[in-house]
Structure 1
């Protein structure tokens, strides 16, 4: 039976080759779309690494005030901590779900360069405000005041790529010039600050306490994160804004919650994903129409063959199975060519994703193509099965 199907396909190799080329290209496009959708879904299922609930973000703008910024900020943090309803206060150079971050690859360890790493300047309270999960070592604190090195905490992704199977705690990194050193005191499990669809990129947290940081000069606008008691609302928000204005003598302060920022970033990230989904749906619709039209045309061109087979005793179900079998064989050949192209993605590291993402995308694209082919071939095969030999032979 299979040999017979291949013979029929070879006898109509020109039209079948065009059909296989269409299936191959459709499979490849579906594979690429599936890779992007599957990777985002995979990231969505991963832990964020921090807790955004009950955390408020205060963007402080000193404006033209260039005097005593650090002292004023230190006083402000103390006043906010003393406010009833406030659990903890921290500052960060870049906050979760923002649209900007700092990246570097300057770190070196025994001659090995670090991957591109996201950098966050933070203080001793960040671990409590964001609820970071320290899985090895500790978070930095006052015990690190006397060190001459930068005290840092990294995430597990950074530790794996930089040190492999070795423990990251206690490692000292340097740069190309060897004029700065960073000592790792702890490791957190993950930190996906970009969005719900962001991947867990290599991340490093650098300790910069308010009292000794050189980064809080006359140009930087600090961002404070305040963890409040559950159920806190507009009353506490207004109270904190008034206190900021009183302490800073007129600095502007805008407040948002990390939960709101998370929703806004999620909406922003959903737009291209929805567009990708629509592209995939449009592609599937066009492929379906093309397959249906080609099969319909083939049936009209092969009425004499169908009538002759029916006259020789072939049943309607046998005719239907023949057309379905031909389409499945053609689809298999087209998908096989598409898989040869798709398998190059994980081998060449295209998109830089984990191998399981590509495998799932291949499976999704394969299932969609075969399902689409079977659906499109079902009705034309039924039409072919209903053709009577006397009618088809009389038309010829």
Structure 2
């Protein structure tokens, strides 16, 4: 039976070529969307390295650049900790679940292992405020005052890249600078498994959290991170803003509970996937109409052949199964060709971790299921219509 069907498909190869190409392109589109969506799901399952359920973020804005004044930041911290709803206060260059990023190139002191690292300067209390966990080493603190290099917490990616096979704790690396100034030095005090400031759908990046000290250096903190007691209502925002205005009434404050910031960030990051899904759905509808029309036309042109089979004793069920089986074989062949082309992507690693073998296999299975279902649905009615033909009607067809 299979050999007979393959012969029938081969004899109509010129007509089936365009149909196969259409199925192949549809499979590629579905695969791309499936892989993109599965990668998003894969990222969502990874830890972010920080908490968000009880944390609030306060972005500070001034008419000019915020001053790095130790007295101001000390006053802000003490005033906020006096509120009964506040458990911990910390400062950072920018907040989490924001589109802000700060990157720079770094190397080992001998100039090797150059990498680009995302940075986020934070105060000593940041880790307690964000409920972070160490993988190795310790958090920096006032015990690091006067250190010969800036204490820094790095994620595991940085530790593996800069210090492969070594204990990263206590290791030194420097900022790559083109000028004659002495490069800034960083000494690793601790390692976290991961830290993704932009949330669950951010790709893992090389990340460092250098120590920021109020009143020291040019960089200033533009953000306050708060850890609130469980059950704190949203109405607390009014009291919080009033307390901040008491400290610096000439600054503006944007208060964002991290659950809201997370929801907004996820919505923004999902926009490309949503757009691509709509486009893919539209293309699949167009492909479905095309497949249905071609199958209808092919069935009409094959009425004499169908009538001869019926006259030789084939049942209506045999005809029905033949039409459906031919379409499924044609779809399988087109998908096999597409997979031969697509398997080169994870083999060459052109997309890196965005298309690992797990994503590839899951996207292949999902795409194959969608195309098989589409092909089956498009072939059901033409097959049913062909099966209804009586031998007399078919043999008299012109």
> When the two structures are superposed, what TM-score results if normalisation uses the length of structure 2?
0.91
Contact 2:105 2:176 survives alignment (8 Å)? no
The residue number in structure 2 matching 1:34 is 34
Q: Deviations over 1:177-205 (max 9, x none)?
A: 67332211111122222133222222111
Contact 2:153 2:210 survives alignment (8 Å)? yes
Q: In the alignment, is residue 88 of structure 1 matched against residue 88 of structure 2? A: yes
The residue number in structure 1 matching 2:360 is 358
Deviation at 1:242, TM superposition (A): 2.7
Contact 1:108 1:176 survives alignment (8 Å)? no
The residue number in structure 1 matching 2:194 is 190
d(CA) in 2 for partners of 1:41, 1:354: 13
User: Which one of the candidate residues 203, 210, 214 is aligned to 1:206?
Assistant: 210
d(CA) in 2 for partners of 1:26, 1:109: 52
Relative to structure 1, the CA distance from residue 176 to residue 100 in structure 2 (aligned partners, 3 Å threshold; closer, same or farther) is: closer
Relative to structure 1, the CA distance from residue 201 to residue 4 in structure 2 (aligned partners, 3 Å threshold; closer, same or farther) is: same
Deviation at 1:110, TM superposition (A): 6.1
Relative to structure 1, the CA distance from residue 129 to residue 67 in structure 2 (aligned partners, 3 Å threshold; closer, same or farther) is: closer
Deviation at 1:172, TM superposition (A): 1.7
Deviation at 1:364, TM superposition (A): 1.4
Deviation at 1:253, TM superposition (A): 2.3
Q: Deviations over 1:120-164 (max 9, x none)?
A: 011111101111121211111122112111211112233334444
The residue number in structure 2 matching 1:69 is 69
Relative to structure 1, the CA distance from residue 166 to residue 358 in structure 2 (aligned partners, 3 Å threshold; closer, same or farther) is: farther
Relative to structure 1, the CA distance from residue 332 to residue 58 in structure 2 (aligned partners, 3 Å threshold; closer, same or farther) is: same
Q: Deviations over 1:346-394 (max 9, x none)?
A: 2343443141222221221112111211221122222222211111111
The residue number in structure 2 matching 1:54 is 54
Contact 1:342 1:362 survives alignment (8 Å)? no
Relative to structure 1, the CA distance from residue 108 to residue 319 in structure 2 (aligned partners, 3 Å threshold; closer, same or farther) is: farther
Deviation at 1:79, TM superposition (A): 2.4
d(CA) in 1 for partners of 2:122, 2:295: 64
> When the two structures are superposed, what TM-score results if normalisation uses the length of structure 1?
0.91
Query: Gapped runs of 5+ residues in structure 2?
Result: none
d(CA) in 1 for partners of 2:195, 2:65: 34
| SS of residue matched to 1:199 | coil
Relative to structure 1, the CA distance from residue 65 to residue 96 in structure 2 (aligned partners, 3 Å threshold; closer, same or farther) is: closer
Range 347-356 or range 62-71, more displaced:
62-71
The residue number in structure 1 matching 2:127 is 127
Relative to structure 1, the CA distance from residue 390 to residue 349 in structure 2 (aligned partners, 3 Å threshold; closer, same or farther) is: same
d(CA) in 2 for partners of 1:312, 1:147: 94
The residue number in structure 2 matching 1:18 is 18
| SS of residue matched to 2:213 | coil
Contact 1:58 1:225 survives alignment (8 Å)? yes
Poorly superposed stretches of 4+, deviation over 6 Å: 65-68
